[in-house]
Structure 1
């Protein structure tokens, strides 16, 4: 199993921000937290590939937004923020080692953070970063492989996976106020409390669930639901609107 990551740019303080005020950001601390995140991936059997090709680009640590990686194919995204589109060419060569590669083209936009895969279904958030054209292009690319692509309205946060992620094939962790939950009918939904809304972004690692440190009620909720839970501190990266999923592309 491979986890593609990217080093933290020295320019991360100039990152794109949509829903958070800009705060001073400690680069050294952000890098230490990112290293701890990578260590968590390694503990769960992933070989971590760390790229440095886009270190001049402020948001480059958030590699999830550059591609959607599935068993059969990798789809290069066309990020909704124009400043982030320069990240994509640097990601292509590493993904070509593992998968055939397709891409989203103009005028479509698609951020990987808006794509939640559960089994053979991909839920795609229509957000400030992902448009309907990007969703339809993704659907056309993936239908031949047997995937369904379902649209989800996002209205209160940056990406779909800011508000909902999968703990397993049947269970979602969600903050429903930020998205339309109707497309997720039939799933068991564990709702995070309002004061821990950002905890809805969890990272499923084999049989464990990684939760951002500082959200004790969400951690307890997942343990009570039968999950093995680990925490990692990404408090400094969260100042750049980071979640746990956005700093890796998992190639399984």
Structure 2
């Protein structure tokens, strides 16, 4: 299981709208921690800069990770539609369509379902109307799932993950601070968890260590948002590529990534998408399509 971790063939992304609708920033803002609203004085989104950053991001997926990139058209209802990871949990040939905490996002599920079915995945839907589940609360390590219990995801949402992926252990992790589990952690390499340094991040990491039978390596970074990175293997190579937040954004968090053995580091700026709660993992859906699919 862990030996194949990080192997992908496709990435699904969402195109930005050409312009902002009236009041969209106020409705959809969220900040780095993915909280429920921007609050007074939140920085406005620079749409031109966002287009540049996401263009570079898609280029990294294509050129550095060697993936086929499928771009969905802009979705009505706001910039938070960029955050496709919240809408599906993909592992192997199965995709679980989630039940986002924000009811306004649930209309986006149909377009995601269509592209996943076109790519020949088995698509499962959360049917429990009492469940809430954001994909950014789901961390797959290659061995097991950790599901963050947060303002966005409840225990019934976690049960949907366990019911769908029965071949894996699924454990729940309390998430403090108002954000998602993956707002401060991700897999930096097989068996290595990148983790931020806030109290919420430290408590979540401690819980994961206590819940798991496997001893994961820990890559601690000073900045919580830098704890969200993307690891991918290239073809049959033993190493891989690690996409991390740019040193211009988080200079103190660069050095820890330089200690990860056997990976090529690729920086990516994401400051604009971060204003609506975006992270490197949340702006795409990664999947590994079998050649015979």
Alignment check: 8 A CA contact 1:167 1:209 kept = yes
Deviation, 1:88, is: 1.2
Match of 2:164 in 1: 141
**1:125 correspondence with 2:152:** no
- Do structure 1's residue 68 and structure 2's residue 89 form an aligned pair? yes
The yes-or-no answer on 1:221 pairing with 2:253 is no
Q: Conserved in 1, the CA contact under 8 Å of 2:86 and 2:134?
A: yes
Deviation at 1:58, TM superposition (A): 3.1
Q: CA deviation at 1:229?
A: 1.2
Describe the shift of the 1:83–1:56 C-alpha distance in structure 2 as closer, same or farther (beyond 3 A): closer
Please say if residues 185 and 193 of structure 2, whose CA atoms lie closer than 8 Å, have aligned partners that are also in contact: yes
Checking the alignment, whether the CA contact within 8 Å between 1:8 and 1:55 is kept in structure 2 is no
Q: What corresponds to 1:209 in structure 2?
A: 242
Residue in 1 that maps onto 2:200: 178
Q: How far apart are the structure 2 equivalents of 1:211 and 1:59? A: 21
Match of 1:101 in 2: 123
2:50 maps to which of 5, 17, 30: 30
Greater Cα offset, 48-57 or 242-251: 48-57
Q: Secondary structure in 2 aligned to 1:220?
A: helix
- Give the RMSD, CA atoms, in angstroms: 1.7
Q: C-alpha distance in 1, partners of 2:265/2:254? A: 7
Asked whether the equivalents of residues 211 and 232 of structure 1 are also in contact (C-alpha less than 8 Å), the reply is yes
Instruction: Provide the rounded CA distance (Å) in 1 between the counterparts of 2:82 and 2:258.
Output: 29
Segments of 5+ residues of structure 2 without an aligned counterpart are 1-8, 210-214, 234-239, 289-293
Comparing 173-182 with 134-143, which one deviates more in the overlay?
Answer: 173-182
- Using the size of structure 2 for normalisation, the TM-score is 0.80
Once residues 76 and 110 of structure 1 are traced to their aligned partners in structure 2, the CA distance between those partners, rounded to angstroms, is: 9
Can you list the C-alpha shifts for 1:66-124, whole angstroms capped at 9, x where unaligned? 00111031000000122222211221100112301101121111101011111131111
Counterpart for residue 225 of structure 2 = 198
Q: 2:248 aligned with 1:248, yes or no?
A: no
Would you say the 8 A contact 1:66–1:79 is kept in 2? yes
Instruction: Indicate yes or no: 2:102 matched with 1:81.
Output: yes
C-alpha distance in 2, partners of 1:156/1:123? 17
Based on CA coordinates, which of the two structures has the bigger radius of gyration? 2
Q: How many residues align?
A: 248
Query: Which secondary structure does the structure 1 equivalent of 2:109 belong to?
Result: helix
Relative contact order, CA 8 A, sep 6+: which one is greater? 2
**Contact 2:77 2:104 (8 Å CA) reproduced:** no
Give the unaligned 5+ runs of structure 1: none
Q: TM-score, normalised by structure 1?
A: 0.92
State the 1:16 CA deviation: 4.7
- Of 134, 137, 157, which residue of structure 2 is paired with 1:114? 137
Equivalent residue, structure 1, for 2:3: none
In 2: Cα distance, 1:16 partner to 1:141 partner: 31
